[in-house]
Structure 1
């Protein structure tokens, strides 16, 4: 039988880049039983995903950025439906964890039903419970994303770097209580990364040791420091070498409690403020493709 696929398209993703990508994706998927929806506002992608599941689709293709994907993930967690993430945002960091971008490979993987079960992060706080597919942050990184989102700038590349520099001037460290089975302390922090995936900010390797199917969150805490020291660590973010700095605390955990006066973002979208509880939902999402880390290990 022909695979049933529903595509959810955010035409504004990537500063309009998704609008250019969509005709190519539509043509690529035209051999299947394809339907699609176009988002107009926040929340549409989640509603369309809920309907796609109810209609019995086997796949949901997400043509957008990480924010669009985050909406789609919410009703898909724990379901058999398979996500096809299409790199159409400026950052598109979730899809960087997978090998699905080679020309022609999407059709091959759909036909052969090649997919992987990946973990999802879970955050719970005043805004409510929400899944995140890639990375959550508290502190400096969340402030950067808030500035970017408020100005509707493109994510990734030079715009991400320039926003970091602008936010660096205003940012102040924050006191944070950190509790998990593996680590407990109250300290001054600049940035806390809670990672399921490896990348953020358009390919910056925020969590080089993270794995999306090991049942753990990878946590990196950059202690409170002056602007010069924070900038030095941020420069090391690109290749992930910052985690070896003595000011950085790293551990893996299944549950984490954070309390302090700091903003939180998940998958590049504003979430709210601490306090927040983080946990992992193992193998909760089916994604078309193969994890790059699994390919490297084979």
Structure 2
């Protein structure tokens, strides 16, 4: 069956608070006049494979129902492709959806996708494309963490206990205890910079982690990546800076630098990069902005 809407839904997104949402989303999407196919997957790898198969089978659109992690998985199949892409925000973090003007109400978002598909109307937005040391390519939509936040994510993912948000809180405490500035080499459109830092991030959108505005002026339609790095802060000043991320006021600190570039290369020892909250892999990583890489339906 071709010319259908493929739906990738994460039932555990948003800690399960939207678990009963899917029937209403399917009903709203069906008003576009296309059949709706729910994709089944038991893991992130299976989710990506299902989305790729749907696009190869002629899907008119792929719709991600969940947060930024679900969006990240679905994007791997539609980036640079003619298939449309829709987001129904139902996660703990919906940073990409917020950045590109998707309605925060899930059913309103689904209805907007249906109207856009029926009217053949789409908006083009940029995506970031990464290439690791082994030549593997991936796409991300929001922010790539390559400093302290990435270390916390990596540690939390290795821990079996405690469960839930407490695991992340404990990972923060453990990483703070061993905090040290690392030596980075950063190349921005051919300009090489070398410096010690604890915070490094590259973004296509302003926020990550459910509204932390790491790169408050990032624009997913300007053809550029925003890059942030900070001089060594130490434990106390790092924790003082963190609460300011919600309002994006941390960029006023004179120790924080923000630059823009089309192509970025980040190199440092002992750092595993995370993008959209998903594990990318160890540095070095090359990141490039691909203008208009996704046809967003909203």
Give the TM bin, normalised by the shorter chain: 0.7 to 0.9
Note closer, same or farther for the CA distance 1:150–1:67 as it changes in structure 2 (3 Å cut): farther
- The answer (yes or no) to whether the contact 1:65–1:88 under 8 Å persists in 2 is yes
The 5 Å alignment of 1:109-258 reads 109-126=116-133, 128-150=136-158, 164-165=172-173, 167-181=175-189, 183-258=191-266
User: Do the aligned partners of residues 185 and 287 (structure 1) sit closer, same or farther apart at CA in structure 2, a change above 3 Å counting?
Assistant: same
TM-score, with structure 1 as normaliser:
0.87
Residue 174 to residue 280, structure 1, CA distance change in 2 (3 Å): same
Q: Quick one: distance in 1 between partners of 2:129 and 2:27? A: 35
Instruction: Verify: 1:47 aligned to 2:49, yes or no.
Output: yes
Conserved? CA contact 1:14–1:154, under 8 Å: no
The answer for the alignment partner of 2:25 in structure 1 is: 25
Q: Normalising by structure 2, what TM-score? A: 0.87
Number of aligned residues: 286
Residues 38 and 117 from structure 1, CA distance in 2 versus in 1: closer, same or farther, beyond 3 angstroms?
A: same
> Which residue in 2 is equivalent to 1:63?
65
Residues 91-110 of structure 1: matches in 2 within 5 Å?
91-101=93-103, 102=105, 103=108, 104-110=111-117
CA positional deviation for 1:18: 4.9
Kept in 1: contact 2:179–2:234 (CA 8 A): no
Uncovered stretches (5+) of structure 1, i.e. residues with no partner: 290-298
| In 1: Cα distance, 2:116 partner to 2:159 partner | 38
CA contact (8 A) 2:62 2:78 kept: no
User: In terms of mean alpha carbon deviation, does 238-247 or 171-180 score higher?
Assistant: 171-180
Alignment CA distance shift 1:231-1:288 (3 Å): same
| Residue in structure 2 matched with residue 267 of structure 1 by the alignment | 276
Structure 2 unmatched ranges of 5 or more:
none
CA deviations 1:239-298 (Å, max 9, x no partner) are: 111111111111100111211112211110112221221111111111122xxxxxxxxx
**Runs of 4+ more than 6 Å apart:** 158-162
The residue that corresponds to 1:6 in the other structure is 6
Identify the structure with the greater strand proportion: 1
Q: 2:100, 2:220 within 8 Å by CA — same for their partners in 1?
A: no
Over the residues paired in the alignment, what is the CA RMSD in angstroms?
Answer: 2.5
Say if 1:18 and 1:63, in contact at 8 Å, map to a contact too.
no
